[in-house]
Amino acid sequence: MDTFLDRYKYALVLAGILIVYICNLFVDVMDVDASQYASISMEMSQNKSFLHVYHLEHDYLDKPPLLFWLSASSMSLFGIGNVAYKLPSILLALLGIFSTYKFAQLYYSKKVATYAALMLASSQALFLITNDLRTDTNLLVFVIFSVWQLALFVRNKNWLNFFLGFTGVALAMMAKGPIGIVTIAFALGTDFLLKKEWKLIFNWRWLIGLVWVAILLAPMTWGLYTQFDLHPEKTAYGIESPSGVRFFYWTQSFGRITGESDWDNGAGFFFFFHSILWDLQPWVLYFILGLIAVVRIYIKGGLSAQKEFMTLGGFVLTFLALSMSKYKLPHYIFVTFPFAAIIAANYLLSLKKRTMLYVQAFFNVLFWIVCAIGMIYVFPSGNYFLAILLVLLCAGSWWVFIKGNSISSRIFFSAAITAIGFNLMMSTHFYPNLIDGYQAPGIAGRLAKENGKGEGQFYYFSSHSHSLDFYYNNLVPKVPHNFKNLDQGDWVYTDQVGKEFVETRDLDFHIAHKIPSYRVTILTMDFIRPETRGNVVDTMYIFEKD
């Protein structure tokens, strides 16, 4: 006889994931990248310049505009803040999860599709980019949406699926450039080649699709052309007379491989091989074993037994292409994770050996220990409701681990509940304590806004960051004439350099606020340990004019 938990087990896991996503809506954005995108979106919502993108009132030539368009529109409706900035991308993340489910269902069982969607949704990558929002959120969504729709078109020749698929291609490119169309081409192309579907490869309809993509990209292309190509007198990011069109369609992506782009952070070829070990938790082990199993089948000549090759091509070829780039950050690889989740789900549901139960139990224990350390030691909490909820989730994860009906279900539900519990602690306890306590620019910007410091009453000196502008809800100007000609009550945000400047010149200011400061995206053991935290935390200041 089915119980309530049996009937609604997948819905309950999804509900837990969505609760964490909702909590992520309210977490402050972190410097540098996420707060920069938030600041650009705020500026766009204020100046209503959607075709020409500006950052701190200067020409912006880096990321495509889709994230800014969505968040700026949201801010115009709901006001400037965390929720308005993050809401569009988090809603789109749900589309990505749904697209993963529907795509997997085309070739695998409903159970594999369900596992894959929930594995993607509960991966550390998705929890991260629904909090520390990046352009990669939208890229991931529209790549898997496009692959799903175009796979449907190949199957049923429905023109609606065709145009939806190529709309996804255009939106993926608006999210993060040519990597969008390249990843989709890798996925579909691998499937067509290995199945020897020559008629599909040379199908004239693809030309119509590319024309449709060009039409959808036209507003963005025109904006780049009129902002940069028509103005050879401009300089952007050290490039004289930049071509915005060439930069977007070539330099920013392929230039990182050819060397044309100057972006190089020294990340080696194997950078993503180790970054994925955390970002795809708690499912990375099943993905690795699943990928090895798939490759073994191919080597043994079992190609005819495979239902599809899109997941293999979409992951492997994109992974290798991105690994060749001279500039890498962990989230660049997230676009491949829908494919990785399908591979992991298919492998997990085929598990017969009990060995993996003990391996998963070990990792579950590690996650719960880290969760307890975060609550009790790193940032001691008096939130008993959260503590009780986490204890219940921990107990639930072990209950399903022990009582589950199969090896795969015991692993899946215990790992999913553990991931939910861990990230609930992160989004409602760890990140709020970290960012609200130590991201000084954001704290200062919010203080100025709450204290009614309007335009012409709040400045910065020596130190500036994007979160300062975003939480002030406006661009903060540099202090004019080195603290001179300010009115009584005006505020100036500064660092130790500014403090010494004021004190050595005996200026008519006093310290209104001292704010602990730490770069919250780079955690060290000295910061994690409360006993040594004071050694690595700096102090920022808000001076007030007397």
Q: What is the 3-state secondary structure (H, E, C) of 443-507?
A: HHHHHHHHCCCCCCCEEEECCCCHHHHHHHCCCCCECCCCCCCCCCCCEEEECHHHHHHHHHCCC
CB 247 within 8 A of CB 220: no
The secondary structure of 415-434 as a DSSP string is: HHHHHHHHHHHIIIIIHHHH
Cis peptide before 282 (omega within 30 of 0): yes
Give pLDDT, residue 219.
95
| Sign of the CA dihedral with 213 first, then 219, 224, and 225 last | positive
Residue with tokens 């959120």: 137
Residue 300 corresponds to which amino acid? K
Give pLDDT, residue 1.
42
At residue 491, φ and ψ (nearest 5 deg) are -110, 150
At residue 481, φ and ψ (nearest 5 deg) are 55, 40
At residue 479, φ and ψ (nearest 5 deg) are -60, 130
Helix axes 284-299, 355-373, angle to 10 degrees: 150
Q: How far apart are CA 326 and CA 268, in angstroms?
A: 8
Domain boundaries along the sequence of the chain:
31-181+195-262, 355-438, 440-545
Of 503, 477, 500, 506, nearest in space to 490 by CA: 477
Q: How far apart are CA 141 and CA 175, in angstroms?
A: 10
User: In 10 A of CB 248, how many CB atoms?
Assistant: 24
At residue 63, φ and ψ (nearest 5 deg) are -95, 150
Give pLDDT, residue 240.
79
Of 225, 227, 230, 231, nearest in space to 245 by CA: 225
As given in the structure block, the two tokens for residue 483 are 């603290």
The secondary structure of 275-344 as a DSSP string is: HHHHHTTTSHHHHHHHHHHHHHHHHTT-GGG-S--HHHHHHHHHHHHHHT-SS--GGGGGGGHHHHHHHH
CA atoms within 13 A on the CB side of 543: 28
Q: What does each of the 546 residues of the chain score in pLDDT, given as a tens digit?
A: 467 777 899 999 999 999 999 999 999 999 888 999 999 999 999 999 999 999 999 999 888 999 999 999 999 999 999 999 999 999 999 999 999 999 999 999 999 999 999 999 999 999 999 999 889 999 999 999 999 999 999 999 999 999 999 999 999 999 999 999 999 999 999 999 998 899 999 999 999 999 999 999 999 999 999 999 898 888 877 777 888 898 888 877 776 666 566 666 677 888 899 999 999 999 999 999 999 998 888 777 666 667 889 999 999 999 999 998 888 888 899 999 999 999 999 999 999 888 999 999 999 999 999 999 999 999 998 889 999 999 999 999 999 999 888 999 999 999 999 999 999 999 999 999 999 999 999 999 999 999 999 999 999 999 999 999 999 999 999 998 778 889 899 999 999 999 999 988 888 899 999 999 999 999 999 999 999 999 999 999 999 998
Q: Who's near 6: CB < 8 A, 6+ residues apart?
A: none
